[in-house]
Structures are given as structure tokens and as C-alpha cells.
Amino acid sequence: MMIPLLQIAVVAAVVFYLGRWRRNVRRRNAQTWETLLARLRPDWSARELSDHFLWKEGLSATPEDAWKRMEGPKGLWVMYQNAQVLLEMANYAATHCEGVDRLLIETLHSDAMQIRLCVLMALVQYAFTQASEGVRINAFRAASIYTGMAARMTQLIQDHAAMMVPSFVAAM
């Protein structure tokens, strides 16, 4: 009796997974620069953390100052979500633009994964210890990687979709 139910559950799970995968592929193929830019969360910006945000890597704030400026977990969550969108923008550029540097795309992929990992670690630590030193250090590391990723993305857009730079700068 249990084996047929288990088989049905496994088949249903596989069908559900394949349906979601197909929907995501369709959504990804239907994206444009404009739809990607519209998905960036503008409710917090890393501009306050860097003097040359979007143009140069590096932060001009200490970990404690950065934590305050990013409004704690709010800024972390925005970085987490925007990292995914920036990753999708890099993939879009790699697919639709000629002459895109593959090393730059791989660097952007790595940046996005590191940001997401740092943010998740910081949020888990924050849930247990509030704004401890470890939370602020992970948040600072995520913000530092985020500003670098944003600067590299700006360069990629300047090189391959220059007309989108003003929109990107406004969205970030």
C-alpha cells in the first residue's frame, strides 16, 4: 500500500520540479534589460557606503558605520535580492551581447554567490545575536563584494548596452 503512494509522490514531485524549471526558462528567455532593471530593489542603495559606488570598488565606511547605513537586515536583504538580479543581467549580457568577457561573467557569478552566502550568514547570526561583531563583519564583507559587483556590472553595461547606463544608475 505504501509503495504505490510513494511512487505517486515521487512522480508528482518530479512533474512539479520540471514544471517550475520550464516556467523559469520561459521567464528567463522573455527578459529584457528593462525588465531586469525593473526587478532591482531601489528601497535601499549602497551609495551611502562608497564615495564612488557603481564606478569603483571599495567602501568608505567602517563595519560599524556600514551596518548603520545599510539599516541592518533591510540592506542585507536588498543586497541578497539584487545580487540575483545582477547575476541574471550578467547572463543576459553573455547570451545577447557579442564579445562579452567570459572571465567577467564568471567573476560576477562568483560575486553573486559570495554576496548571498555572506548575507545569509549575517542574517542567521543576527537572528541569534542581534548586531554582534560577527554580523557586522559579514555584512561589511557582503557590502564590499556588492559594491565591486555593481562596479563590474556598470562596466559591462557601459561596454555592451551603453544606452542603459542611466537607467541602471538610477535603479541602483
pLDDT for the residue 106: 92
Element (H, E) at 146: helix 133-160
Distance separating alpha carbons of residues 96 and 90, to the nearest angstrom: 10
pLDDT for the residue 58: 67
Q: What is the pTM of this model?
A: 0.78
26-31: long-range pairs with CB below 8 Å, 24+: 28/88, 28/91, 31/88, 31/92
Any idea where the domains of the chain sit in the sequence?
Answer: 1-30, 33-171
pLDDT for the residue 93: 86
Residues listed for the chain: 172
pLDDT for the residue 97: 80
pLDDT for the residue 78: 92
The single residue listed with the C-alpha cell 535601499 is 44
Mean pLDDT by 10 residues, the chain (172 residues): 84 91 81 86 77 69 84 90 91 85 91 93 87 85 89 87 82 78
Q: What is the DSSP letter of 9?
A: H
Q: Report whether 135 contacts 122 (CB < 8 A).
A: yes
